[in-house]
Amino acid sequence: MEGPSVNILELLKSLPHHASPGTDWLCSEHQYPWYARVFQTLSPKSILEIGTFLGYSLATAAVALPELDRVEWVDNEAYLEGSNRLAAENIRVARERAGYRPLISWSCREIPLDAAERQSYMELVHIDGDHRKDCVLRDLQYAFQVGTSCIIGHDYKLEGGVREAVVETCNRLDILHYVLDDFTHGLFVIPLVDHASVLMKLARARVGRISVMPPHGGK
């Protein structure tokens, strides 16, 4: 996608359902345009998202990834009753405007109780729901149960529990993670396959400084 920054922001502002104008996270050059670059770098065909609100991140994926096939999300509608239906509409409209084939989409309000039996592998999981540590730990556990090649998540650098949950999980599994430091509020990336190539591609994707976080602080 050539120069996605302007296009993505314009597209999000033009979707049928939007948050209050002027919201910093909606307008930031370092959020949705960078999500587009991260999605293009990882190029998943299926994405599971936990925390979708009005669907901006998935709408970004819908226009950034022509080969995207399936999106699923979990959102308990804590921000806005009925937001899952509005998100579905935003994602559909974004996809239509991009001129790509429609996506298979599915959403629910709670992590399914039969998560362990679902066996529904999703190439990428994006975590952006409740940022308290216990909730992020649960979301990460769900991502591993579903099965994925990569987990990313927002607000790593905000006060809350995102960083603690990611560090604890990565230490337990003895795996590394990356942090896109200049992404608005920080984005973590846990590559589960081919981490060296993911790092190399991200470094080329113009998404600012990347910190490599080895398990146990590299000790």
Ligand X SMILES: C[S@@+](CC[C@H](N)C(=O)[O-])C[C@H]1O[C@@H](n2cnc3c(N)ncnc32)[C@H](O)[C@@H]1O
Point out which residues bind ligand X (CB under 6 A). Answer: 50-54, 56-57, 74-79, 83, 128-130, 135
CB of 97 to ligand X, least distance (A): 17
Q: What is the dihedral of CA 167, 170, 175, 179, to 10 degrees?
A: -40
CB of 109 to ligand X, least distance (A): 7
Reduced to 3 states (helix: H, G, I; strand: E, B; else coil), residue 179 is strand
CB of 108 to ligand X, least distance (A): 9
108: number of Cβ within 10 Å: 12
CB of 127 to ligand X, least distance (A): 9
**Pick 110 or 174: Cβ nearer ligand X:** 110
Pair of tokens at residue 126: 């994006």
H helix runs in 43-82, sequence order: 56-64
Under a CB-based contact definition with an 8 Å cutoff, are residues 100 and 45 in contact?
A: no
Q: Using DSSP, how many helices (H) and how many strands (E) does the chain show?
A: 9, 8
**Pick 54 or 122: Cβ nearer ligand X:** 54
**Pick 41 or 83: Cβ nearer ligand X:** 83
Measured between alpha carbons, how far apart are the two ends of the chain, in Å? Answer: 40
Instruction: For residue 162, report the phi and psi dihedrals to the nearest 5 degrees.
Output: -65, -50
Pair of tokens at residue 146: 């579903």
CB of 196 to ligand X, least distance (A): 28
CA 139 to chain centre: 12
Under a CB-based contact definition with an 8 Å cutoff, are residues 198 and 44 in contact?
A: no
Residue 154 and residue 141: Cα distance in Å, rounded?
Answer: 16
